[in-house]
Amino acid sequence: MAEPMLPFEDLRIELPDYVKEDGSVASQPFSKSSHTLFRRETLKSDGDGVGLRTDYFKQHLVAIFEKIGRPVPYRFTDRLGRNRSMDGGCLKFVGPDGQDIAEFVESGGYIVAVTPKPALVAQYGTTSPAATDIEQLEKDGSLSVTERKQLIDARLGQGTFRKQVLASWQDRCAVTSCDLSVVLRASHILPWRDADNAERLDPENGLPLIATLDALFDGGLISFSDDGQLVCSSSLKEYPDLVSPGLKLSRSPSPKMRTYLDRHRRQYGF
């Protein structure tokens, strides 16, 4: 299968160059030159993955994950607008065939994003909402192993929750009908912090949205009316190019989804 057309996502993240202890130039864990996608079986690495270079990769992988709150795209642009991608050796070290501290998101057999596992987040993370929520789930002794995994996946917009949300909209964005999987997010309607565990796993409490709409929706800058019309916060008036007028959900929300949308609108003052 041909390599998928994976765009460089504009993450605008601070990503300083990696340098060796002696200050000399080093091969970058986040490449600035070669951006070809990898298959899991083609990843190659030397050594055991222990050292400053791999530590740099782990630290910044977690930092990006915490900042964006979702799997880290393989290709992205940093704050300086430079195209970046992940070094194959570093991917091998953290992946399931290495230290198994990160999961790969694959499309057509190619690695398109990487999700640090809770143990890696706990080691290098700070206090982002996603990291904190995952840590709380890890400590919740009332959950079975299966329930805990389902909830962690749902917090990341992955797993069964993502599959069910996308399937209910024919694997397309609920607004634009875009079917490019790598830019689709399974966005919770009722925010995670305000939902109970059943609501967090309920596919009716989710919408598949392209990354831009997901960020606006998650930030409470847009919402949807009971008939599916997109409504905007007044703070978006200064950014008219972000959202085209007249956008709406491609089908009417179900009664249960309307309940979630009503709570989302009230949560953000619509």
Write out pLDDT tens, residues 225-246. 999 999 999 888 888 888 888 9
List, for residues 67-116, the tens digit of each pLDDT value: 888 889 999 999 899 999 999 999 999 999 999 999 999 988 999 999 98
The CA distance from 126 to 153, in Å, is: 20
CB-based contact 155:69 (threshold 8 Å): no
Q: Which residues contact 97 (CB under 8 A, 6 or more apart)?
A: 40, 43
Number of other residues whose CB lies within 10 A of the CB of residue 53:
20
More confident residue, 79 or 22: 79
How many of the other CB atoms lie within 10 Å of CB of 20?
Answer: 11
| Rounded CA separation 112/211 (Å) | 15
Report CA 268 to chain centroid distance, whole Å: 22
Q: Is the pLDDT of residue 166 over 80?
A: yes
79: left (phi over 0), alpha (psi -120 to 50) or beta: alpha
- Residue 128 pLDDT grade (very low, low, confident, very high; cuts 50, 70, 90): low
Q: Residue 11 corresponds to which tokens in the numbers above?
A: 């993450």
Find all residues with CB under 8 Å of 31, minimum gap 6, and list them: 84, 85, 86, 87
The structure tokens listed for 129 are 């909402």
Q: What is the dihedral of CA 228, 71, 136, 212, to 10 degrees?
A: -30
Q: What is the mean pLDDT of the chain?
A: 89
Nearest-angstrom CA–CA distance, 210 and 97? 31
Do residues 205 and 168 touch, judged by C-beta distance below 8 A? no
**CA–centroid distance for 181 within its chain:** 12
pLDDT in tens, 187-225: 999 988 899 999 999 999 999 998 889 888 988 999 999
The amino acid present at 9, given as its one-letter code, is E
